[in-house]
A and B are shown apart, each in its own frame.
Chain A
Amino acid sequence: DAGVIQSPRHEVTEMGQEVTLRCKPISGHNSLFWYRQTMMRGLELLIYFNNNVPIDDSGMPEDRFSAKMPNASFSTLKIQPSEPRDSAVYFCASKLQNSGNTIYFGEGSWLTVV
């Protein structure tokens, strides 16, 4: 079975450019999460969706970050404009909407902003 699919796997971009990260959750999963991982701050939850609806975006760092989920099989995380401090690994994850269910992570998008 296909897991959570993220693209791009790696991106290097210049400061000020727009970055769009994409995610396809596991089919049938109705909760989707965006995490950011850095050495300094560890794994941080940015936003999560239930049934395509954003539930909690309190982890989104600032207005430069936005996330959408137009349908059950696709989500985007956009950074505009990007800054060097946004360099991190961005993970998308999905699960069935139930407090005990396992979260399945994608392989991550490694972003470097220079």
Chain B
Amino acid sequence: GQQVMQIPQYQHVQEGEDFTTYCNSSTTLSNIQWYKQRPGGHPVFLIQLVKSGEVKKQKRLTFQFGEAKKNSSLHITATQTTDVGTYFCAGRSSGSARQLTFGSGTQLTVLP
């Protein structure tokens, strides 16, 4: 079955440093979504990427979908304490009727 893997599992950064999490799928994806979950909270949708090689930006966040549509990344520039949380990618295999498969998440800690 489809597997979606994320690395790293944990990341501690000093406030102001950059952060990147990577998502890799065992199958080609029709689209990929990114979610953020604050400690004690619930996952909240951030963005969806659909096109091969697509890059989208939200303020300090940059999202990229690989050319082969099997990987994706989320990069945060100059992290702030408000960026703390777990970032999940979620993807669905092309041609599959199955729903989104969530990655294991990257837990980001930002040290003031």
Per the bound structure, the CA–CA distance linking A106 and B44 in Å amounts to 10
By a CB distance below 8 angstroms, the chain A residues around B45 are: 102-104
Asked if A103 and B41 make an inter-chain contact with CB atoms under 8 angstroms apart, the answer reads no
By a CB distance below 8 angstroms, the chain B residues around A45 are: 99-102
Per the bound structure, the CA–CA distance linking A100 and B29 in Å amounts to 12
Q: Chain B: which residue is nearest A59 at the CB level?
A: B99
Per the bound structure, the CA–CA distance linking A1 and B15 in Å amounts to 34
Asked if A48 and B50 make an inter-chain contact with CB atoms under 8 angstroms apart, the answer reads no
CB of B31 closer than 8 Å to a CB of A: yes
Size class of the A contact interface (CB-based, 8 Å): 10 to 19
- Give residues 65-103 of A contacting B (CB, 8 Å): 91, 99-100, 102-103
Q: A99-B92, A100-B31, A100-B48 are in contact. Are A107 and B100 (CB under 8 A)?
A: no
Asked if A105 and B44 make an inter-chain contact with CB atoms under 8 angstroms apart, the answer reads yes
CB of B105 closer than 8 Å to a CB of A: yes
Per the bound structure, the CA–CA distance linking A102 and B41 in Å amounts to 17
Per the bound structure, the CA–CA distance linking A63 and B14 in Å amounts to 46
Asked if B102 and A56 make an inter-chain contact with CB atoms under 8 angstroms apart, the answer reads no
Asked if B92 and A42 make an inter-chain contact with CB atoms under 8 angstroms apart, the answer reads no
Q: A100-B50, A102-B33, A103-B100 are in contact. Are A91 and B42 (CB under 8 A)?
A: yes
* Interface secondary structure of A, over-half rule: strand
Interfacial residues, chain A to chain B (CB-CB below 8 A): 33, 42-43, 45, 48, 56, 91, 99-100, 102-108
Out of B33, B42, B44, B102, which one reaches A42, CB within 8 Å? B102
By a CB distance below 8 angstroms, the chain B residues around A48 are: 99
Per the bound structure, the CA–CA distance linking A91 and B90 in Å amounts to 16
Per the bound structure, the CA–CA distance linking A60 and B45 in Å amounts to 24
Asked if A91 and B43 make an inter-chain contact with CB atoms under 8 angstroms apart, the answer reads yes
Type the 1/0 row for B16-55, where 1 means its CB is closer than 8 Å to any CB of A.
0000000000000011010000000111110010100000
Per the bound structure, the CA–CA distance linking A102 and B99 in Å amounts to 12
Q: A43-B105, A99-B31, A99-B92 are in contact. Are A56 and B98 (CB under 8 A)?
A: yes
